[in-house]
């Protein structure tokens, strides 16, 4: 359980980063870098905030606390899949670039037990499972911008008790920042007023080639074990070695288009550690995280029609790969898995760094 602050992945309450200004006063950010992106069906506006640092540029939407675009100055194409159309993010691209939760991935049967009490959740996947927090998950919420700087933006979402069936009022914060080398860091923190499972994830789809397919990509994952799944993509409970299986990515190799599995990085959150590397002949993306698992989805089921991507055309199967540092899937229903329960008085903290470079 996440009970107390025990290391650099937890702290007592998030504050604006150095150089950030709370709110959005005229000195906080150039007006051109905070713009209206669209309007949600309920009439609320969605803002896009652009941050820059080290030759990199990132665009973050309030809707879903979503990374809508990420580019390097010396690369002609975006590195992450996204759309200029807000409506796309209410439909087939609902998870693209978003923070998903409060529990990422799947919860079997849309239910779990906590402290001898049964909780029923929104089952938003074929009426069987709860995927990425259900229909009212983080990706479909319009977050508030709480602090901005030229190289960072912080967002906040207060999630009322009982939303989607999850217990506890959550105060969730997300901070995207770029350092002098262009490295993108995402920090997610949260506090609760009641015990609740909490295991969010960043759900961006990466394409380093700009070609709309992953044929030229190679993946290296720092994991000796993975979680086998059943026909509904629910972990069986077994932790299996990757050796002599199609899931052995301990050395860089081409992607299996059907890959959609969790790799076991560790059993406890800890300091930043290497998780994976995605590479082509001209670009590489190194991912470090405090998280214990990495869900890799090779995008075999992607279909964003009729909505366009950054290149003006819909994305199809294999257009991008999701690299999602997170807790192990369906953890609330597996007593032998690491415990993702967040308790009152504790602060959850997740940090992930994405380092993209040419050459």
Cite the active site residues.
203, 324
- Cβ(324)–Cβ(239) under 8 Å? no
Helix (H, G, I), strand (E, B) or coil at 36: strand
Tokens in use for 85?
């159309």
The rounded distance, in Å, linking the Cα atoms of 182 and 53 is: 5
For residues 134 and 123, the answer to whether their CB atoms sit within 8 Å is: yes
| Residue 213 CB burial class (10 angstroms; 0-12, 13-18, ≥19) | middle
- C-beta of residue 347 within 8 angstroms of C-beta of residue 191: yes
Q: Which of 139, 60, 61 is nearest to 95 (CA)?
A: 139
Query: Residue written as tokens 């998950």?
Result: 137
CA distances, 168 to each of 92, 191, 204 (Å):
29, 9, 27
User: Which of helix, strand or coil describes residue 24?
Assistant: coil
Cα atoms in the 13 Å half-sphere on the side-chain side of 356 = 26
Question: Cβ-count burial of 125 within 10 angstroms (0-12 exposed, 13-18 middle, 19+ buried)?
Answer: middle
Determine contact, residues 322/296, Cβ cutoff 8 Å: yes
Sequence-separated (6 or more) residues with CB below 8 Å from residue 222? 250, 265, 273, 274, 275, 276
Owner of token pair 């229909």: 135
């Amino acid at each position: 359980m996440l009970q107390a602050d025990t290391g650099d992945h937890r702290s007592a309450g998030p504050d604006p980063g150095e150089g950030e200004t709370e709110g959005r006063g005229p000195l906080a950010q150039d007006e051109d870098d905070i713009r209206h992106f669209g309007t949600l069906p309920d009439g609320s506006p969605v803002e896009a905030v652009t941050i820059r640092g080290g030759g990199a540029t990132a665009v973050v939407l309030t809707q879903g606390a979503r990374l809508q675009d990420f580019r390097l100055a010396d690369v002609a194409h975006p590195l992450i899949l996204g759309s200029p159309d807000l409506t796309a993010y209410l439909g087939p691209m609902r998870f693209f670039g978003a923070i998903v939760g409060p529990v990422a991935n799947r919860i079997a049967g849309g239910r779990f037990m906590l402290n001898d009490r049964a909780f029923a959740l929104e089952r938003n996947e074929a009426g069987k499972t709860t995927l990425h927090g259900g229909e009212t998950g983080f990706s479909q919420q319009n977050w508030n911008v709480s602090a901005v700087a030229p190289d960072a933006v912080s967002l906040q979402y207060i999630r009322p008790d009982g939303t989607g069936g999850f217990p506890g009022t959550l105060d969730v914060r997300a901070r995207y920042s770029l350092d002098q080398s262009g490295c993108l860091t995402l920090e997610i923190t949260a506090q609760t007023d009641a015990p609740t499972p909490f295991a969010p994830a960043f759900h961006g789809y990466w394409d380093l080639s700009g070609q709309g397919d992953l044929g030229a990509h190679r993946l290296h994952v720092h994991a000796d074990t993975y979680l086998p799944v059943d026909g509904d993509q629910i972990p069986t409970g077994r932790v299996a070695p990757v050796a002599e299986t199609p899931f052995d990515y301990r050395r860089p190799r081409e992607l299996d288009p059907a890959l959609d599995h969790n790799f076991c990085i560790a059993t406890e959150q800890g300091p930043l550690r290497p998780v994976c590397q995605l590479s082509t002949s001209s670009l590489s993306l190194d991912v470090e995280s405090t998280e214990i698992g990495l869900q890799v989805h090779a995008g075999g089921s992607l279909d964003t029609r009729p909505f366009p991507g950054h290149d003006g055309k819909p994305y199809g199967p294999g257009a991008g790969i999701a690299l999602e540092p997170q807790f192990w899937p369906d953890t609330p229903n597996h007593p032998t898995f690491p415990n993702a329960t967040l308790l009152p008085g504790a602060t959850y903290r997740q940090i992930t760094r994405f380092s993209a470079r040419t050459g």
